[in-house]
Chain A
Amino acid sequence: MTTRFDKLGVVIAAIVAYAAFAAPFATLRANRIVPGEARSILEALPPTLGPLLLAVVVVAAVVALLKTPLILRLAASVVALAALALLIGVAGGFLTPEGNSFARISPASGFWLLIFAFTLLLADGLTRLNLSPSARIAVLVVTAAAIGMLLVSGSWNSLSILKEYANRADSFWAEGSKHVTLALGSLAAAVIAGLPLGILCHRVEKLRAGVLNVLNIIQTIPSIALFGLLIAPLGWVATHVPGAASLGVRGIGTAPAFVALFLYSLLPVVANTVVGLAGVPRAANDAARGMGMTERQRLFSVEFPLAFPVILTGIRIVLVQNIGLATIAALIGGGGFGVFVFQGVGQTAMDLVLLGAVPTVALAFAAAIILDAVIEMTSTRRREAQPA
């Protein structure tokens, strides 16, 4: 009998049982900073919907618990997640007292645990499906579209995090675009500078250890210190180099954040370029030389394409890391989603923290999935073109 249970299902069912029956589903607070009162699923939802949600999560948990077909497990997790996403919005409207604009409703631990449990089930199902790279991107796009539709439809508007958003809608998008510009811009700069540097390190062995050591040491400097240390030199440049200030070079703000992210990004780009080029099979190089290719042709049409997946892995590391690190730019006035995180910490307003943290995590997550898919596509194409 015990063999009939799915092992992961046991874990999921246990989390669901605790989250649905013992943990609070939503928190009701009189205003945005006071401690809240917990509400269970039955208390947080209208009398018909509460039992319905309980039924949905229990059935989904049973599907997870037993050894059921993969497609059923995927369906159960999607239905449960959709029900949770829709009904937390309903709970927001239901719990808010009539005409009270100070009260805040936010999802509580039970809700997050249920989301976690069913995401686990979904992730397990998707992993077992072994989706192709383009299918993974499609799943990502569909998920993003569904979340976007929920946001636009306003069904979550009664939740606390969106009330924080409503108060700051303009600055949210401004900081968001700053965040993306910082992360992508510093990545682009690092690729432009790092690729030639990596090629140089590959060709000139004497340089290699030295350059990589310096870049390694830069990585050990804590981000907040590096951001801070760049304030002085950039401030000096801004006042002493004519034209620099008009280009946006300042001691504080975006410029030091950009330079710091650029410096952190160099190591993965340079190191992976070196590793990628070193991994180019000698036979390929010899063949190219035999065909009479020049150094330059060899670099661009043989070495570089073969090393590309490894270099792309470096770029993936940099992008995910930069999206996270860009939150710290807020400490030196560089903007980005970190502004909300640090404001929220300062005011002990957790919804404000979430307003900064959730988009950051979502961006990093999406970037990781997209780049992983691209890496897989380029490396399989390489393998097909080059049967071993």
Chain B
Amino acid sequence: MKEAGVKAWLPSLLRLALVVLLIAFVTNPGWFEPLLKPLTESNAPAIYNQGSLLTLTLLHLRTVLIATVAATIVAVALAILVTRPAGVEFLPLSRSLVNIGQTFPPVAVLALAVPAVGFGEKPTLIALFLYGLLPIFENALTGLTTLPANVVEAARGAGMTGWQRLVKVELPLSAPIILGGIRLSVVISLATATIGSTVAARTLGEVIIAGLLSNNLAFVLQGGLIVAALAVLIYDGLSTIERYTARRMGQETA
């Protein structure tokens, strides 16, 4: 019995430890200097010194958050539009557009957005938005088109209007799948945002690129690890929410 208890708690403990470690690292990176020092050469600094890691982490998260919220609103609205009778003409085309869109490499989107909006955060937001759009749209489409037919019929039979069916039946039922798309999109965005620093956006990519340019492995490692830790934690958190909504919707957890 005791062993089972430990096994059940282990993931939560690991998560907690990772959160504590992450917060400690971005607020007090000095504590970890001895660990990173062996990775540097000829007395280079072991902790990124051209800006605070905490500020960069928050800016990184802010960029990802803005892009994801915008992408979610647009993607879900589009998915709703093409699954209504009025927009059903656009359904096949929107599917092929999503397929085409996924072939654009993020670096290209980023670089091509620069002439239109200038250097800095804006091109990064555009690239993250476009990239985040696709998984959410695809999942929302799957969710809205694979609803159990009897449930939709029942809602219609109960005299619900189109709007009521959408808000009270279709969206809640497809919420877990849509959340899955958002989760995928956030994890991709967290990693892609680092590339934004090649066009002077202030994200954790700045730390990695500074490391690449000055041949300082400690910088590359700390930037990469913070982003990876954020991604793992957020992925995990969103999966939990997803399972919770799926349970509430009476669906089996995948």
Contact = CB atoms under 8 A, between A and B. Distances in A.
Interface of A: 6-8, 120, 123-124, 126-128, 217, 219-226, 228-229, 231-232, 320, 323-325, 327-328, 331-332, 338, 341-342, 344-345, 348, 350, 353-354, 356-357, 360-361, 364-365, 367-368, 372
A348 to B, nearest CB: 8
Contacts of B211: 228
21 contacts: A120-B97, A123-B96, A123-B100, A127-B92, A221-B191, A222-B191, A222-B223, A223-B194, A223-B195, A225-B223, A327-B107, A327-B108, A328-B107, A331-B212, A341-B108, A354-B112, A357-B112, A361-B103, A364-B105, A365-B103, A368-B102
Nearest to A7: B89
Given A120-B93, A220-B191, A229 B103 contact: no
B67 to A, nearest CB: 15
B73 interface: no
B190 A345 contact: no
A214 to B, nearest CB: 12
Interface of B: 39, 87, 89-90, 92-93, 95-97, 99-100, 102-108, 111-112, 114-115, 187, 190-192, 194-195, 198-199, 204-205, 208-209, 211-212, 217, 220-221, 223-225, 227-228, 231-232, 235
Contacts of B212: 224, 228, 331-332
B115 A350 contact: yes
B105 to A, nearest CB: 3
B224 A228 contact: yes
B105 A325 contact: yes
A245 to B, nearest CB: 19
Contact of B198 (A217, A219, A345, A368): A345
Contacts of B232: 217, 220
A323 to B, nearest CB: 7
Given A222-B192, A341-B107, A364-B103, 4 more contacts: A320-B103, A345-B114, A357-B105, A368-B100
A235 B208 CA distance: 18
Nearest to A9: B89
Given A225-B194, A225-B208, A8 B223 contact: no
Contact of A224 (B112, B194, B228): B194
Please report whether the interface of chain B is mostly helix, strand, loop or mixed according to DSSP: helix
Given A220-B231, A222-B208, A232 B105 contact: no
Contacts of B105: 323-325, 327, 357, 360-361, 364
A253 B208 CA distance: 17
Contacts of B90: 7-8
A364 to B, nearest CB: 4
B108 A361 contact: yes
Contacts of A365: 100, 103
Given A127-B93, A228-B212, A232-B39, A221 B114 contact: no
A265 to B, nearest CB: 15
A7 B103 CA distance: 26
Contacts of B217: 228-229, 231-232
B93 A123 contact: yes
A368 B90 CA distance: 22
Contacts of A126: 96
B35 to A, nearest CB: 15
Given A128-B92, A231-B217, A368-B99, A221 B111 contact: no
B204 to A, nearest CB: 8
Given A320-B102, A323-B105, A222 B228 contact: yes
A361 B228 contact: no
A228 B218 CA distance: 10
A361 to B, nearest CB: 6
B92 A124 contact: yes
A7 B96 CA distance: 17
Contact of B107 (A123, A225, A338): A338
B103 A220 contact: no
A225 B227 contact: yes
Contacts of A128: 92
Contacts of B87: 7
Given A7-B89, A232-B217, A224 B103 contact: no
Contacts of B107: 324, 327-328, 338, 341, 357, 360
A344 B104 CA distance: 18
A226 B220 CA distance: 8
Contacts of A361: 103-105, 108
A228 B93 contact: no
A33 to B, nearest CB: 11
Nearest to A112: B112
A72 B208 CA distance: 53
B111 A225 contact: no
B197 to A, nearest CB: 8
Nearest to A363: B103
